[in-house]
Structure 1
Amino acid sequence: MKRVFITGGNGDIGSSIVEIFKINGYEVVSPNSKELDLRDSKLIKEYFNHNNNFDIFIHCAGINNPSIIEDLDFNNIKETMQINTFSFYEILKTLIPYQKINGGYILAISSIYGQISRAGRTAYAMSKHALIGLIKTAAIELGKYNIKVNALSPGFVDTNLTRKNNNDEKIKIINESIPLGGIAKPTDIANVSYFLCSEKNTYITGQDITVDGGFICGGFQK
């Protein structure tokens, strides 16, 4: 049975990803923030010291605390970068020795804000742009071991985080701006995640797959 490690598995998108892998017979390990605090690099290293035999790693954990640059506290940037980007690097590094022998799949759930940005999203956009750069480098270095490394960048998804950062009026405008007619469901993201980390994916690596209903290809111009 293949083993999957998923961060952020208790969130809206993460729980959908956990569910689809369980349904398809994978052993899923997805600790909550109390079991594995991604803000603590030492704890991350200790957690994986004797437990790194995962065939698949999906990084779904992430935070987004909007603030314009003038008001942005540097601690906000550090925490956002640690959880969204640095912890992914730290976990990836611990899993490489096992996957070098057996091959594997690495997937980071990024965001369209790793490609574009928006006022008030400085820390978040920084973290996601950096994540995409790391994905591309890892794909180049690990391809010879049959380790496929990709990012998946959702647009707007019906999650608690989206509702927290956008009022009803903004949600309505966003819905009307998406060519496919509305924001995604968490299962839309989970389905693509499953494909990218399954044996169906035989030749995709180093890519940032956008799942946004057509928003950034021009839908936002409506």
Structure 2
Amino acid sequence: MGHTFLAPQIVTCANLKGLVMKQLENKVAIVTGGASGIGKAIATLFVKEGAKVVISDLNEELGNKVIKELGSDVAVFVKADSASPEDNKKLVDTAVEKFGALHIAVNNAGIGGEAATVGEMKIESWKKVIDINLNGVFYGMHYQLPEIEKVGGSIINIASILGQVGFANSSAYVAAKHGVVGLTKTAGWEYGTKGVRINAIGPGFISTPLVDNALDKDALAYLETQHAMQRLGKPEEVAELALWLASDKSSFVTGSYYPVDGGYLAK
């Protein structure tokens, strides 16, 4: 009597692709300052992992370029000033109107500001940095939280290593980023039983337009030596942590601060 041999089923990458659930499938996110640098890297990774994203920035040209790259079916751009409460509300309204809900918010928009000592910094320069880098995060959270609370989700505030230590000639930036960390911890406690996790990321010096355009080659080379890895970070390296904090994989994480700094704070 003959034997019947069954050919083994071949599982191809194409087969697996349909079986693997993306980490942010069916989620809706806001990413401020998403036209370049860290914000763009985060928005790009979120879309790759299944999210629909509302991107904001003041640079309309770059913002629309990002939407063209990602696809208008999964991403929308809104020109918005993070220092404006009304613009922050508009972002939340857009997310709900376009995609039906809001699950994730990344408050990333920020500026470096004037380089000067405390005694020499212009009052208007101080106010501008605080308004964008700190007040802007509060305004964002103020409107994001009620919507995210309805469905559960995550808020990620982009602080800085300078949310932990000082840095000469950057008092407004340092003060704002320290404030972001404190705001994050407080909100983490307030919403710990309300289904919203709130965390902060502290990037080291990352190779972005904000850093690269502000400093000359010698200054950049010096900054590299201040990191244990002897290099600047990449926006994509920050985005990976943002993805983890946005996903259910970080379900027991809230009110925390996570540096992505190549060892800068280890000194």
TM-score (norm 1): 0.92
Question: 1:137 matched to which residue of 2?
Answer: 186
Residue 21 (structure 2) pairs with residue 21 (structure 1): no
Shift of 1:83: 1.1
Question: 2:262 matched to which residue of 1?
Answer: 213
1:202–1:117 distance in 2 versus 1, CA, 3 Å:
same
1:27–1:85 distance in 2 versus 1, CA, 3 Å:
same
1:145–1:179 distance in 2 versus 1, CA, 3 Å:
same
Whole-angstrom distance in 1 between the partners of 2:227 and 2:216: 17
Shift of 1:173: 2.2
Do the aligned residues in 1 keep the contact of 2:30 with 2:95 (CA within 8 Å)? no
Whole-angstrom distance in 1 between the partners of 2:253 and 2:103: 16
Residue 210 (structure 2) pairs with residue 161 (structure 1): yes
Q: Deviations over 1:14-33 (max 9, x none)?
A: 11001000111100111232
Question: 1:63 matched to which residue of 2?
Answer: 111
Do the aligned residues in 2 keep the contact of 1:101 with 1:145 (CA within 8 Å)? no
Structure 1 SS opposite 2:199: strand
Question: 1:202 matched to which residue of 2?
Answer: 251
Question: 1:147 matched to which residue of 2?
Answer: 196
Whole-angstrom distance in 2 between the partners of 1:203 and 1:119: 36
Question: 1:12 matched to which residue of 2?
Answer: 37
State the identity as a percent. 28
Do the aligned residues in 2 keep the contact of 1:63 with 1:80 (CA within 8 Å)? yes
Do the aligned residues in 2 keep the contact of 1:6 with 1:58 (CA within 8 Å)? yes
Question: 1:41 matched to which residue of 2?
Answer: 85
Structure 1, gaps ≥5 residues long: none
Whole-angstrom distance in 1 between the partners of 2:193 and 2:80: 31
Whole-angstrom distance in 1 between the partners of 2:170 and 2:208: 17
Amino acid at match of 2:27: K
1:69–1:191 distance in 2 versus 1, CA, 3 Å:
same
Amino acid at match of 2:89: K
Whole-angstrom distance in 2 between the partners of 1:61 and 1:116: 20
Do the aligned residues in 2 keep the contact of 1:13 with 1:190 (CA within 8 Å)? yes
Question: 1:116 matched to which residue of 2?
Answer: 165
Shift of 1:75: 1.3
Q: Deviations over 1:130-155 (max 9, x none)?
A: 11110000000001012110000001
1:140–1:160 distance in 2 versus 1, CA, 3 Å:
same
Bigger relative contact order, structure 1 or 2 (CA pairs below 8 A, ≥6 apart): 1
Moved more, 182-191 or 72-81: 72-81
Whole-angstrom distance in 1 between the partners of 2:122 and 2:152: 41
Do the aligned residues in 2 keep the contact of 1:139 with 1:206 (CA within 8 Å)? yes
Structure 1 SS opposite 2:192: helix
Query: Which aligned runs of 4 or more in structure 1 are off by greater than 4 angstroms?
Result: 49-52
Structure 2, gaps ≥5 residues long: 1-25, 61-78
Structure 2 SS opposite 1:210: strand
CA RMSD for the aligned pairs?
Answer: 1.6
Shift of 1:99: 2.1
1:46–1:170 distance in 2 versus 1, CA, 3 Å:
closer
Structure 2 SS opposite 1:81: helix
Do the aligned residues in 2 keep the contact of 1:5 with 1:56 (CA within 8 Å)? yes
